[in-house]
Structure 1
């Protein structure tokens, strides 16, 4: 099959969940409804995988509500918080669809952006589609996160030599080849994205990694990063950096 031939490609959407915001189940249904209007018929219905990352904020009635309204829905949970990377690997290991997307529980990116990531994969342009954010993104996040994000992007470009510098955008997708590489990751928290792009860029399979411009929805609220997370993730970054020379 040529790289530009459209694939018949049902899609999975994986959402990690930890202490979700108010009205989160309704937001999921509304966001999925808008997204499904943008996708071709062969992508539907979207199979939603929800992974509760050791959170007490997911009630049994929330899960029941989603089960009643979604024809393809898988719920996974475990008792202790392990981090977003661990949650995603838990969910993605169960995915059977040929294409897989993941984003955050509050659907912070416009549905058109999710559709663009899907269409890039479906067209065969890439094995991994990486959401990338423009300068408008930084107008909507706390100054501390702007500083961390931009420093990481510079480090990614100059120290790791990756073609995609914006590794931390919370919207990505991949085909089966990309899925196999994603599941090799070992970082459980903030830098799991960077590890994935690093592995994809270095893999023996020579995966095609494509940056895809995406846009935030208005009024999205981002939390501040704690010093403890930064300290722990500095060790993760060092491990990735050292792996470059192995």
Structure 2
């Protein structure tokens, strides 16, 4: 079997919180394919017992890192990425996998080998959500995230929540500085990859779920709110801005009968409101106020023209501006989140 140079091989990172024997099984199986990776990094994320980690430390190309307390999956992944940065500076990247047996060793190696051939892309091991045995909460969560990312961020991938990923070292610096520490880290990773114009590559993996999915530490309501909090906040600001915008539009159009004037004045007032809340509350990042305001204004002007074109076009087919305006607003809203995240508050 041909040997890859060590700097081409990715490291493997597996975060683990209160793992069972399945972690040992996965580690032992991975050791049979040690030529496919440079190092296996296990991160003990504050497990109640460390006994099981002691049974796997005899492997020469394996290291166990430990958190004194449970910090979350994202924090554990960042700890692993930092270790790879500091100790394997020439490594091409890292492949991450879960410790609960949902990622089979053969699939982990499959992603590692694919990544080694094309280490500039973000690789995703994607499950088949059309399978009948998929838990409803997993199907619902992935479907919602998939359409949200496709419409709002123009990220089109079959599985947004997979933990089996090949991550290029080029984005390590940005990833380890992300504030997210739980499951939302993996979705933030997709946003970083999109912002850095990385290619998204995927390969199909075996879909494994135990009855009831009892080994998962994912809390559907609590963690879903954390994962989508920025999008939910953005949506709330958008709804408030749209209400203000529509009210002013109706008022000005009612007095003047001019669509463009009504759109421009309404968007000016609602735009200042929207910019202020998005900058200070939703994205909490960007450049100087002047730079952000300039980019936001340019984007807002472009979106006003799009809004105008859609609203005007709908009037040509007999739809009242009072109905056409909300339709156009929905389309513009879906574009706005991704464009603000990518171009303005980056």
2:79 corresponding residue in structure 1: 90
Q: 1:29 aligns with which of 27, 30, 33?
A: 27
Q: 2:54 aligns with which of 36, 52, 64?
A: 64
Q: 2:145 aligns with which of 140, 152, 177?
A: 152
Q: Give the Cα separation in 2 of the matches to 1:129 and 1:193.
A: 13
Matched, 1:48 2:40: yes
Task: Name whichever structure is richer in strand by fraction.
Answer: 1
Moved over 6 A (4+): none
Matched, 1:209 2:307: no
Matched, 1:118 2:112: yes
Q: Give the Cα separation in 1 of the matches to 2:165 and 2:212.
A: 20
Of the two structures, which has the highest relative contact order with CA contacts closer than 8 Å and spacing of 6 or more? 1
1:234 corresponding residue in structure 2: 228
Matched, 1:131 2:125: yes
- Relative to structure 1, the CA distance from residue 25 to residue 199 in structure 2 (aligned partners, 3 Å threshold; closer, same or farther) is closer
1:80 corresponding residue in structure 2: 69
TM-score normalised to structure 1 length: 0.80
Count the aligned residue pairs: 228
2:18 corresponding residue in structure 1: 19
Q: Give the Cα separation in 1 of the matches to 2:113 and 2:24.
A: 26
Give how far 1:58 is off: 2.5
The answer for unaligned runs of 5 or more in structure 2 is 233-281, 284-336
Does structure 2 retain, via aligned residues, the 8 Å contact 1:20–1:57?
A: no
Task: Name whichever structure is richer in helix by fraction.
Answer: 2
Q: Give the Cα separation in 2 of the matches to 1:129 and 1:25.
A: 22
Does structure 2 retain, via aligned residues, the 8 Å contact 1:101–1:171?
A: yes
Q: Give the Cα separation in 2 of the matches to 1:29 and 1:156.
A: 33
Give how far 1:122 is off: 1.6
Residue 135 of structure 1 aligns to a residue in which SS?
coil
Larger radius of gyration: 2
Q: Give the Cα separation in 1 of the matches to 2:127 and 2:170.
A: 24
Give how far 1:149 is off: 1.6
Q: Give the Cα separation in 2 of the matches to 1:145 and 1:133.
A: 11
The answer for unaligned runs of 5 or more in structure 1 is 1-5
Q: Give the Cα separation in 2 of the matches to 1:213 and 1:127.
A: 16
